A and B are shown apart, each in its own frame.
Chain A
Amino acid sequence: MYLFILIARNTLRHKLRTLLTVLGLTVATISFGFLQTVVDAWYSGAEGAAATTLVTRNATSLVFPLPLSYEARIRAVDGVTGVGYANWFGGIYQDPKNFFAQFAVSGESYLNIYPDYLMPAADRAAFLRDRKGAIVGRKLADQYGFKVGDIIPIKGTIYPGTWEFVVRAIYDGAKSTTNTATMFFHWDYINEAVKRQAPRRANQVGVYVIEIRQPEDAALISNAVDAQFRNSLAETLTETEKAFQLGFVSMSEAIVVAIRVVSFVVIVIIMAVMANTMAMSARERLAEYATLKVLGFGPGFLTALIFGESLLLAAAGCVLGVILLFPLASGFARLMGTMFPVFEVAPLTVLQQVLAALVIGCVAAIAPTLRATRVNIVEGLRSIG
């Protein structure tokens, strides 16, 4: 018991230094957790994907469309229970800075594949009835103040002109990780206009989303779909929605890797700060350690004393860091709005924070412990702080 009292008293001997060290640890724990959360947000699209959803795109690349006629042929593949399609619209709402995703989708067949988008049945029906109707996610609606009945003008970059959509429904996510920063409207509405303006570009689909009965059949069905269109003008590439989303992540892999590396660098920086604090404390107390040795305390006791103090400091910083991370993350999520559709602290992140603090505490205690346990008693007694 008196060991703990000694540790606690030692910790409070230099209040300012302790305060600064804990502050440093808190900043490091928060930034580590925060950066991990940023990386998680990158992967959120892939995490949210259902195992029974496949995505078919043009094999050459996403910028090439697929003919509308593929729908019926995909539907006929064994094991497929639903087919919808979507086109990336890439429009601008007022200013290019207001970026959010817009998709022109196939209406009911598309919504059926994504049961995670929750909206009142009446609103959903109203959307399906209105060709100019649109559905917006809760987060998007909150950010720009969209209400049911509002008209949203969007300037097309791929489909020239300014398009007007009437908000018919606002959807919520079934899970906290569901992306609610997207806008959906009718593919038919866009297609009718394209037919008039540029008939060659009409009746084309960006991607098909396929719902299958058994997740185990994903590979088999993917092959069956792609086989249908081999050696055609528009060859297809079918993969699970998760793989499709991970493809986007891997495109910006360098940035993700950089953020990850940096999040570990911050740990190393604080390790240096912490090791420094402990080294200074130990140097000042060398005479005390020698006294303890004279009194008959073994190296085990000294080790416990120093490790205990180091770990106590690390724990204090870590607890503060974990507690403060949550308000910081939610504040940041609000600030960034639709830029990060999903921004949530994962349980794994908290675990990693705790582990990091543990490692910092231990590493920082190594050098002072070696010094204290090895010190010659006479030499130690002679030393002055």
Chain B
Amino acid sequence: MKIPFSYIARNLWTRRLTTALTAGGLALVVFVFATVLMLDEGLRTTLVTTGEYDNVVLIRRSAETEVQSGVDRAQAAVVASHPSIARSTDGQALVSRESVVLISLPKRGSDKPSNIVIRGIGERGAAMRPQVRMTEGRMFRPGASEVIAGASIARRFAGAGIGETLRFGQREWTVVGLFDAQNSGFDSEIWGDAEQLGQAFRRTGFSSVIVRLADSAAFERFKKDIESDPRLTLEAKREQTFYADQSKALSTFISYLGLALSIIFSIGAMIGATITMYASVANRVGEIGTLRALGFQRRSILAAFLSEAMLLALVGGAVGLFCASFMQFLSFSTTNFQSFSELAFGFRLNPPIIVKTLIFSLIMGIIGGFLPAVRAARLKIVDALRAA
């Protein structure tokens, strides 16, 4: 026979202060656990939305980022003539020759500098990234010293707002528009005309070439053609893979850090739960004896105390998760040391994270409540009744 659930729940309610303190500790642990998972998820979605699946990035072999890479004009021309590249309605090949550099800009307010990606794009560059939309102002004019800035850059960096000017490469660049790239990595970039930026930085070549494939399935053949061509020293990657690779280290770092913190914290919280449950058993020895005398089995007592611990953990977990959900309004920005540039991303809560977090808190409850529950179940009826 099972012990009614209401008995279990009321036990927690009777000792409100202790329950609140224990659940509070558990909630903090769950909060940290959920926040880290959300951060990692935010980073992943940012990177997945940065790349278009059918776009291919070509950079110099063994260069890991666009900034390290160099592609000279002759090579870029060879790539652009490949037959599997898609064409726009006016018959032009969808190719963007891009020039990517980093400039260090001070943050608004704090004046602390951070490295920002300045991407010089080709004529078709913007069209090849459909997630990028102008939200204010207009597109830069090819041939002019004009740039457009990503939403998150314009907000946080001095000189990057609309109408403001940035000085680099011995020129003043006017920010004529702002764009929104739907929380992708492009939100952390400034775009201009590749030819103008190349001039300003005295570069004859480009950093990378982006092409759109007409047929997605042709990627393997295209990659083979490019990498076996003796005139080229380039390697090809799908744009999505390229961006995912670029923050692998950051993502690994965040998940390891989070895992380590969660483990350390959960030890503290589990100890808290164990103490509470032991006290709860000790206070109710007489009650337990009565329950046993009434015919409830050891199994039922074990189950009752385990469920009490799990309920306690679940309350803590729910509170922690509720608080963590507010983190979605914040965004997080840091330097990605692989690309050496600023990357902003948000916290994202999704159903798998909710499930994982609740399972995590239940596990804490089970581990914390197990020993006390065993103790309660092993009490001898006579001794227990006598203790009361």
Q: Which among A64, A96, A233 is the interface contact of B101 at CB below 8 angstroms?
A: A64
Which of the residues B169, B264, B278, B334 comes within 8 Å of A31, measured between beta carbons? B264
- Assess whether B201 is interfacial by the CB under 8 Å rule: yes
- Of the candidates A157, A233, A247, A279, the one whose C-beta lies within 8 Å of that of B68 is A157
CB-based contact A279/B102 at 8 Å:
no
Known: A272-B22, A279-B21. A255 touches B334 (CB 8 A): yes
A60 engages B332 (CB within 8 Å)? no
A298 at the interface (CB under 8 A from B): no
Interface centre among B104, B269, B335 (most CB of A within 10 A): B104
Docked-complex contact A270 and B114, CB < 8 angstroms: no
Given the interface contacts A266-B264, A385-B283, does A276 sit within 8 Å of B275 by beta carbon? yes
Residue on B nearest A23 in the bound complex, by CB: B271
Task: Indicate whether A63 sits within 8 Å of B101 (C-beta atoms), given known contacts A20-B275, A157-B64, A269-B268.
Answer: yes
- The CA of A266 and the CA of B264, in the complex, are separated in Å by 9
| Complex contact B102–A61 (CB within 8 A) | yes
- B126 interface residue, CB < 8 Å from A? no
Does A113 sit within 8 A of B, measured CB to CB?
A: no
Are the CB atoms of A27 and B268 closer together than 8 Å? yes
* A265 in contact with B28 (CB, 8 Å): yes
Across the interface, A61 reaches (CB within 8 A) one of B60, B104, B267, B275, namely: B104
Measured between beta carbons, the chain A residues less than 8 angstroms from B342 are 251
Instruction: Determine if B32 is an interface residue (Cβ-Cβ < 8 Å).
Output: yes
Q: Does A348 contact B (CB under 8 A)?
A: no
Interface positions of A from 273 to 293, Cβ below 8 Å from B: 273, 275-277, 279-280
B261 at the binding interface (Cβ < 8 Å): yes
Do B275 and A277 have beta carbons less than 8 Å apart?
Answer: yes
A252 close to B (CB within 8 Å)? yes
Within 8 A of A (CB), among B223-248: 233
Total contacts A to B, CB within 8 angstroms? 134
Q: How large is the interface on A (under 10, 10 to 19, 20 to 34, 35 or more residues)?
A: 35 or more
Residues of A within 8 Å of B68, CB to CB, are 90, 157-158
What residues on B are CB-neighbors of A247 within 8 Å? 112-113
B159 part of interface (Cβ distance < 8 Å) = no
Tell me if B17 is interfacial: C-beta within 8 Å of chain A.
Answer: yes
CB distance from B336 to the nearest CB of A (A): 9
In the bound complex, do residue A280 and residue B18 qualify as a contact, i.e. CB atoms below 8 Å apart?
A: yes
**Bound Cα distance from A259 to B36, whole angstroms:** 11
Contacts of A280 in B (CB 8 A): 18, 275-276, 279
A17 at the interface (CB under 8 A from B): yes
Q: A251-B335, A265-B28 are in contact. Are A60 and B275 (CB under 8 A)?
A: no
Among B61, B101, B275, B333, the one with the most A-chain Cβ atoms within 10 Å of its Cβ is B275
The residue among B22, B268, B276, B337 with the most chain A CB atoms within 10 A of its own CB is: B268
Residues of B within 8 A of A272 (CB): 21-22, 24-25, 28, 272
When the two chains form their complex, are residues B21 and A64 in contact, meaning their CB atoms are under 8 A apart? no
Flag whether A254 is at the interface (Cβ < 8 A): yes
The answer, yes or no, to whether A242 is at the interface (CB within 8 Å) is no
> How far is B20's CA from A275's CA once the two chains are assembled, in angstroms?
11
A279 pairs with B112, CB closer than 8 A: no
Quick one: CB contact mask for B313-334 with A, threshold 8 Å, 1 for yes?
0000000000000000000111
A residues 236-273 in Cβ contact with B at 8 Å: 247, 250-255, 259, 262, 265-266, 268-270, 272-273
Select B269's contact among A233, A252, A259, A269, beta carbons within 8 Å: A269
Q: Which residues of A contact B278 (CB under 8 A)?
A: 16-17, 20
**Which residues of chain A have C-beta atoms less than 8 A from B24's C-beta?**
272
Q: Is A193 an interface residue (CB 8 A)?
A: no
For residue B178, CB closer than 8 A to chain A, the reply is no
The answer for the CA separation of A61 and B340 in the assembled complex, in Å, is 11
Binary CB contact string for chain B from 333 to 364 against chain A (1 if under 8 A, 0 otherwise):
11101001010000000000000000000000
Q: Is the CB of B276 within 8 A of A253?
A: no
| Pick from A27, A62, A259, A385: contact of B264, CB under 8 Å | A27
Docked-complex contact A269 and B265, CB < 8 angstroms: yes
Would A231 and B62 count as touching, CB distance under 8 A? no
Within 8 A of A (CB), among B144-187: 168-170
**CA distance in complex: A155, B333 (Å):** 31
Residues of B within 8 A of A21 (CB): 271, 275
| A336, chain B: closest CB distance, angstroms | 11
Is B58's beta carbon under 8 Å from chain A?
A: no
Closest Cβ–Cβ distance, residue A259 to chain B (whole Å):
8
Q: Is the CB of A17 within 8 A of B268?
A: no
A259 (CB) vs chain B CBs: closest residue: B257
Bound: A60/B105 CA distance, A: 8
Task: Report yes or no: A233 in contact with B202, Cβ–Cβ below 8 A.
Answer: yes
Taking the nearest CB of chain A, how far is it from the CB of B27, in angstroms?
9
Q: A251-B115, A272-B272, A273-B268 are in contact. Are A157 and B25 (CB under 8 A)?
A: no
Q: Does A149 contact B (CB under 8 A)?
A: no
Nearest opposing residue in chain A for B100, CB measure: A63
Binding site for A on B (CB under 8 A): 17-18, 21-22, 24-25, 28-29, 32, 60-64, 67-68, 101-104, 112-115, 168-170, 201-202, 204, 233, 257, 261, 264-265, 267-269, 271-272, 274-276, 278-279, 283, 332-335, 337, 340, 342
Identify 5 new A-B residue pairs, CB closer than 8 A, beyond the known A233-B202, A277-B275. Answer: A21-B275, A64-B101, A254-B332, A276-B22, A279-B18
Q: List 20 A-B contacts (CB under 8 A).
A: A16-B278, A20-B271, A21-B271, A24-B275, A60-B101, A63-B67, A63-B340, A158-B68, A160-B63, A250-B112, A253-B334, A254-B332, A266-B265, A266-B268, A268-B28, A273-B269, A273-B275, A276-B22, A276-B272, A367-B17
